Chains A and B, each alone.
Chain A
């Protein structure tokens, strides 16, 4: 009999903790949605009154998201182009389809991998930095201080970062695309003997300008997602230093997740639209 009761109690506990888990999940999702609303409103307000954006914060963010990230982003894109070119050349050479290498490399990079790689690097660099900065501000009561000065933290912190990312991520993507295709050319030249003229011509024939804009549009979406996830994770932090580390980690994990999921959604939408 007591055994039976124990079992019952255990079952009840499990149900309870499941319910609690669901509740927390619900609250988290709710607070994220609230944050999206609030940040969108603040961004819109600042777009209508650009004077409300603090110039220096914007410059600092532009520098840290853009200029500082340039070398590493380009390096990764170059390596990606080389890898792609090499694997492509290996397979295509078997069928004597070397001529298609520029198109395959170009399309993959410009439409998918370029924007995505740039976004993933940006998540690691900027998303985590946003989270860490905001989390420390929360710990040191700076967010409270902003509120009592009548400044909504979202406007003061989020908006300059968002605008910086919206400007820099597409730029980085353009540069990453170029460098990635150059990586492909290096392989095309070395392995398949394609000259620069030929490679360029074949790329132009194979890669439509629309593909390029497809990637740029994606990078705008990624910029919004990375900033939102990063800042939100920072705001959700707890009261100690470990919590700051945790919120940085979740900024990166959820940032990359958001980038990849949104990419698949956008790929489908774009494919549907181009059929019209």
Chain B
């Protein structure tokens, strides 16, 4: 018997087609087309207020786009109904720009919440995993603290730990390292690389930290507020040295004369 050697082409975990996003009547970004491959670490880059967080929130299905299609692992999150959406979202881990920790819950309970709601873990397993995530973020001993008793950087790390709670296949980080000291920020980069190594997760993040971009990103999508679109796409090194747009080169080399 002959085996079929032709592998089916792997579906990209994120495919965006003709996407236009905005609020009300106001268009923030338009006609976006891109595809993110499995295991890629992609950075959304652009000036403040150009719509990075907006794009991220649309990709994870929080807002309906004005136009276009978003496919997550081959399934449309735009037309999905409530149950399908929940299913698609079950492979997401999201760390929001402001942390978005639940103030009524302790740090440990915050990290445990996704496991209680989405996972099939016993109480002991949850406890163990929470400890493990806390250790990963160097937050041992803070499990019983309330979010209001933490510093800004610690809140970010807890949010990061919560996003990792279910070891999701798709991770979205909105400025995970903003407000962290350089060493902690570097530690975060190591964690991101380690996660990709271990679980093969696809990661989309927003960050302005150049060292972090060069260390972890395979690819940068450069957004522009004036063009309301993606103006360049490529590896950070390539964009810095060879981009045809001066603004992109300047952005990545932090030198406006470049």
A191 at the interface (CB under 8 A from B): no
Q: Say yes or no: A150 contacts B100, CB within 8 Å.
A: no
**CB-defined contacts of B98 to chain A, threshold 8 Å:** 140-141
Q: Say yes or no: B104 contacts A140, CB within 8 Å.
A: no
Q: Say yes or no: B60 contacts A148, CB within 8 Å.
A: yes
Q: Say yes or no: B86 contacts A145, CB within 8 Å.
A: no
Within 8 A of B (CB), among A151-168: 151
B90 at the interface (CB under 8 A from A): yes
**CB-defined contacts of A60 to chain B, threshold 8 Å:** 104
Distance of A140 Cα from B57 Cα, bound (Å): 14
Which of the candidate stretches B14-22, B111-119, B185-193, B219-227 sits at the interface with the other chain?
B111-119
Q: Say yes or no: B118 contacts A142, CB within 8 Å.
A: no
Q: How far is the CB of A34 from chain B (nearest CB, A)?
A: 13
A10 at the interface (CB under 8 A from B): no
Interface size class of B (residues with CB under 8 A): 20 to 34
Q: Say yes or no: B113 contacts A149, CB within 8 Å.
A: yes
A144 at the interface (CB under 8 A from B): yes
B137 at the interface (CB under 8 A from A): no
**CB-defined contacts of A147 to chain B, threshold 8 Å:** 62, 89
Q: Say yes or no: B62 contacts A144, CB within 8 Å.
A: yes
A57 at the interface (CB under 8 A from B): yes
Q: Say yes or no: A150 contacts B102, CB within 8 Å.
A: no
Within 8 A of B (CB), among A48-72: 56-57, 60
Q: Say yes or no: B97 contacts A149, CB within 8 Å.
A: no
**CB-defined contacts of B100 to chain A, threshold 8 Å:** 140-142, 144-145
Q: Say yes or no: A148 contacts B113, CB within 8 Å.
A: no
Distance of A142 Cα from B113 Cα, bound (Å): 13
Query: Which of A57, A147, A150: most chain B Cβ within 10 A?
Result: A150
Within 8 A of A (CB), among B89-139: 89-90, 92, 94, 96-104, 113-114, 117-118
Distance of A263 Cα from B104 Cα, bound (Å): 34
With A141-B96, A142-B100 known to touch, is A148 a contact of B117 (CB < 8 Å)?
no
Q: Please, what's the 1-or-0 string for B80-91, where 1 marks a CB less than 8 Å from any CB in chain A?
A: 000000100110
Q: Say yes or no: B62 contacts A148, CB within 8 Å.
A: yes
Q: Say yes or no: A142 contacts B89, CB within 8 Å.
A: no
Distance of A98 Cα from B57 Cα, bound (Å): 69
Q: Please, what's the 1-or-0 string for A131-146, where 1 marks a CB less than 8 Å from any CB in chain B?
A: 0000000001110110
Q: How far is the CB of B191 from chain A (nearest CB, A)?
A: 20
**CB-defined contacts of B92 to chain A, threshold 8 Å:** 148
**CB-defined contacts of B94 to chain A, threshold 8 Å:** 144-145, 148
Chain B residue nearest to A147 (CB atoms) is: B62
Q: Say yes or no: B89 contacts A141, CB within 8 Å.
A: no
Distance of A141 Cα from B96 Cα, bound (Å): 7
Distance of A144 Cα from B97 Cα, bound (Å): 12
With A141-B96, A144-B57, A145-B94 known to touch, is A150 a contact of B104 (CB < 8 Å)?
no
Distance of A150 Cα from B80 Cα, bound (Å): 14
Q: How far is the CB of B172 from chain A (nearest CB, A)?
A: 8
Q: Which one of A141, A142, A151 contacts B97 once the chains associate, using CB atoms below 8 Å? A: A141
Distance of A56 Cα from B113 Cα, bound (Å): 13
**CB-defined contacts of A145 to chain B, threshold 8 Å:** 94, 96, 100, 102
Q: Say yes or no: A142 contacts B102, CB within 8 Å.
A: yes
Q: How far is the CB of A129 from chain B (nearest CB, A)?
A: 13
Distance of A95 Cα from B90 Cα, bound (Å): 74
Distance of A145 Cα from B103 Cα, bound (Å): 12
Distance of A60 Cα from B103 Cα, bound (Å): 13
12 contacts between A and B (CB under 8 A): A56-B104, A57-B104, A60-B104, A144-B96, A145-B96, A148-B60, A148-B62, A148-B92, A149-B114, A149-B117, A149-B118, A151-B117
6 cross-chain pairs, A with B, having the tightest CB-CB distances, nearest first: A141-B100, A145-B100, A141-B96, A150-B86, A149-B114, A148-B94
New contact pairs (20) apart from A144-B57, A144-B62, A148-B60, CB-CB < 8 Å = A57-B104, A60-B104, A140-B98, A140-B99, A141-B98, A142-B101, A144-B94, A144-B96, A144-B100, A145-B94, A145-B96, A145-B100, A147-B89, A148-B89, A148-B92, A148-B94, A149-B89, A149-B113, A150-B89, A150-B118
